[in-house]
Structure 1
Amino acid sequence: MFASLLSVRALLVAIFMLMAGSGFLATLIAIRLEEARAGALVIGLVATAYFAGLMLGALRVTPLIARVGHIRAFAAFVSVYSASSLTYALVDNWPIWIVLRFTDGFVMSGVFVCLESWLNRVAQPNNRSAILAAYMIALYSGQALGQFLLNLQDNAPSLPFMLSAILLSLTILPVVLTRIAQPVMEDISPFTLRRLYAASPLGFVGVLATGLMMGAFYGLGAVFAQRIGLPLALVALFTSSVIAGGVVLQYPLGILSDRFDRRRVIVGSMVATAAICAALAFAEGRLAVFVPGALFGGFAFALYPLCVAHANDHLDESQRIGASSGLVLVYSAGAVVGPLMGSLAMGLLGPAGLFAAIGAVSLLAALFGLWRSAIASPVPAEDQQPFVGLPRTGPAAAVLESETSDGTEQDLQG
């Protein structure tokens, strides 16, 4: 197993460096706009642009990668991202930042497709789960540790952007020097929205709700932390604690969902998320948000793979890749709207509005899950597909996830 991870170490190093250099940019940009008194709506628009680019990229980058190859495409995408990071330091203008964030989302989608399809080529049935787990650890640990680069801007405001560009540029090296053969790109055709909903209503609604919640948090979580009085160092600690919580609780909740009716675990996680959001919205004292923040990440991050697993319980093996890639797009559509929803709520209710809106979405999704549980029979626990932790990245991750699970065919009933 260790030998299989060594075979993809260059790709794992690349994703770690990529996330360390880019994962904190959303937080940094939100902080800069907040300091410039741009307003929550403008901050939400800038965040929305990133997710819009991510969604368009998921639909458009595959032909480009197929035409020029993975190494050239990866180098091009990362080079554009590096140049974009430097441009933030040169141009302090939020309309231009909207264009830059859209570009960031588009090229990041291309990077995810390159890395994930490459990992899928190397992965075999006996090591696929280990490779996916290592990929997620590299992704989330890079994102969490990168948050602490925010602390370097006190004496040199442009320094975090410069370090981001340096890390992104260095990300190219392990990829262009790798000896792993480039895969042949396969076009993944996602399900239509109607077909997705018909296959698994709760999976569809749960993924959409998760996109709304996580889009709002990634776009405005740092603004919330600043407005309740956290200094910059603690803002970085707050965002990283949310990401760390998401890593810690994902697999325990997944194991529970394998043993019991998965819908109950999903609904329970949504209710827990709503309750934690209430605690965050009404938290008194600056330090009262860290434990609820980690718990929020733990339950909210788990919702996406739980809902994808629930959808897969109602699909046969030939349908799972198309359905999972379609759910990525549903998540992205929710993430596009999430920052705007959060910004409007903060405009009406102040900082607490962010988690009030996220909690309301989670509670509504939980009520939908209860309704589905009342009118549809559960999939027997022994027939459920094994839970697989899954990053919310791009359609190529659906191939890794779908081919990790072995299962029996289920009727379209959920």
Structure 2
Amino acid sequence: MLPIVRSISSLLMAVALLMLGSGMLSTMIGVRLSGAGVGAMAIGFVMAAYYAGLTAGSLYGYQIIVKVGHIRAFAAFASVFSVATLGHALHIDLVLWGLLRLAEGFCMAGLFMCIESWLNERATARTRGQMLSLYMITLYGAMAAGQQLLMLDDPSGMLRFIVTAMLTSLALVPVALTRKGPPVLPDIASFGLRRLYEASPLGIFGTFASGLVTGAIYGLAPVYGTEAGFGNAGTALFMTVIILGGVALQWPLGKLSDVFDRRTVILGLSAALVAASLGMVAVSGMAGDMQGQAVMVAVAVLFGGLSFTLYPVCVAHTNDHIDRSELVQASGGLILSYSAGATIGPLAGSAVMSALGGPGLFVFTAASAASAVVFGLYRMMRRPAPPAEAQGPFRSLPRTTPVASPLDPRGEDEPQLSLDLESAFPNGRHAAE
């Protein structure tokens, strides 16, 4: 493992610095807007803009990388992200902040694509799985740690934005000083959504539902924390335990799907997520004493674990219905399905919060998970389960860009990839020039 860490240490350092800053940024924006008296619906639109930008960046950001190279593109994306971050400190304007979040999402997708293509270039058939694990640990560990920056003393309201911009700029240093040559950007041929649905209706519906839940949580949980009176420290802790719960529980919960029919596991996860969401509604008024806070943290850990696990189990279920050689292409389409859900989640979730108050966030996540239960029951009546020996192994996966998918060790030993993102959106402009 140590030689693998050494070979990608500069990339892991860049990821850690990026996520320390950007992990706190979304939480901070939600807290700042909610504290300024902005309504949940308006905050939902601002938060949804980030995921819209992330989706657009996944589709078109690589054109910039191809034209100018990885290091120049990384520098450009990081610089624009830093400038956009500082733009939030100037003035609270919802249109401006929505445009800034759109730019931040696009740039973050570009940054992920640069890093993930470097990881692909340095990975071998033997080390892909270990590199993927190190990448995910760094990604989500730094995101969780970054939440604690919310506790910085910031009377002016500018310091936290400045720190985020500084961390993003520092992420340039290990990349700019790398002595490795630029990699070839892997070309991902993404399955069309119709083809994916024909292969695994529950898989693509489940990834969409997962996007609804996690997009709403990342975007609106800070608003919930502010309305519940958590304060900055309590909101930071709340977001941290949700993320860490997702990291800690993904593997044990996901491995259950290697033993049982994956559709049954998806139904069980979704039903448990409904229960955990309703549990969050029930404990929403318990933040006033230490015992109540402990109960809320415990439920939040479980909620995070269930919501984070739904996506990779749905990916594994989809993989059971396609050829091994098609896993990489399928994962690109599934990420797009997830991204669509993550864009809609803050919009729909904020509407429910406007009607029901802060706990309405978890009413929305319960409804989203319940839709997966209903659809899963319908699919179980329509098609028999694949034989147990046909199920591939569970693997935890990032929900960043399709460029990460070749790191999945379940794919071909030496995947042959080609770029055709237009197949996922046949009415759109061809992504490659």
> Match for residue 333 of structure 2?
326
8 A contact 2:77–2:110 mirrored in 1: yes
User: 1:380-401: per-residue Cα shift (whole Å, max 9, x none)?
Assistant: 2222111111011111112212
Q: Does the alignment pair 1:285 with 2:292?
A: no
Q: State the Cα distance separating 1:181 from its structure 2 match.
A: 2.8
Give the aligned residue type for 2:384. S
8 A contact 2:48–2:346 mirrored in 1: yes
User: 1:306-360: per-residue Cα shift (whole Å, max 9, x none)?
Assistant: 1111111111133222211011111111111100111100111111111001111
Q: State the Cα distance separating 1:53 from its structure 2 match.
A: 0.4
1:182, 1:312 → 2: CA distance? 31
Matching of residues 170-319 of structure 1 within 5 Å: 170-283=170-283, 284-286=285-287, 287=293, 288-319=295-326
> Match for residue 148 of structure 1?
148
> Match for residue 412 of structure 1?
none
> Match for residue 59 of structure 2?
59
2:189, 2:53 → 1: CA distance? 19
8 A contact 1:258–1:385 mirrored in 2: yes
2:190, 2:355 → 1: CA distance? 37
Q: State the Cα distance separating 1:153 from its structure 2 match.
A: 4.1
8 A contact 1:129–1:404 mirrored in 2: no
2:296, 2:39 → 1: CA distance? 23
Give the aligned residue type for 2:394. F
1:101, 1:95 → 2: CA distance? 10
How many residues were matched structurally?
A: 406
> Match for residue 131 of structure 2?
131
Matching of residues 35-184 of structure 1 within 5 Å: 35-184=35-184
User: Which structure 2 residue ranges, 5 or more long, are not aligned?
Assistant: 288-292, 414-433
Given candidates 360, 373, 384, the residue that maps to 1:353 is: 360
C-alpha distance 263-76 of structure 1, shift in aligned 2 (>3 A): same
Q: State the Cα distance separating 1:268 from its structure 2 match.
A: 0.9
Matching of residues 379-390 of structure 1 within 5 Å: 379-390=386-397
TM-score (norm 2): 0.91
> Match for residue 347 of structure 2?
340
8 A contact 1:388–1:405 mirrored in 2: no
C-alpha distance 180-377 of structure 1, shift in aligned 2 (>3 A): farther
Equivalent position SS for 2:124: coil
User: 1:111-139: per-residue Cα shift (whole Å, max 9, x none)?
Assistant: 11111111011111111111100000000
8 A contact 1:386–1:405 mirrored in 2: no
1:380, 1:291 → 2: CA distance? 36
User: Which structure 1 residue ranges, 5 or more long, are not aligned?
Assistant: 407-414
Q: Report the RMSD for the aligned CA atoms in angstroms.
A: 1.3
1:279, 1:132 → 2: CA distance? 33
Give the aligned residue type for 1:127. T
1:330, 1:116 → 2: CA distance? 20
TM-score (norm 1): 0.95
Q: State the Cα distance separating 1:402 from its structure 2 match.
A: 5.8
Give the aligned residue type for 1:70. H
1:404, 1:120 → 2: CA distance? 13
Q: Does the alignment pair 1:394 with 2:401?
A: yes
1:153, 1:276 → 2: CA distance? 33
Give the aligned residue type for 1:202. L
Give the aligned residue type for 2:217. F
Judge which range, 153-162 or 123-132, deviates more. 153-162
Matching of residues 10-49 of structure 1 within 5 Å: 10-49=10-49
> Match for residue 410 of structure 1?
none
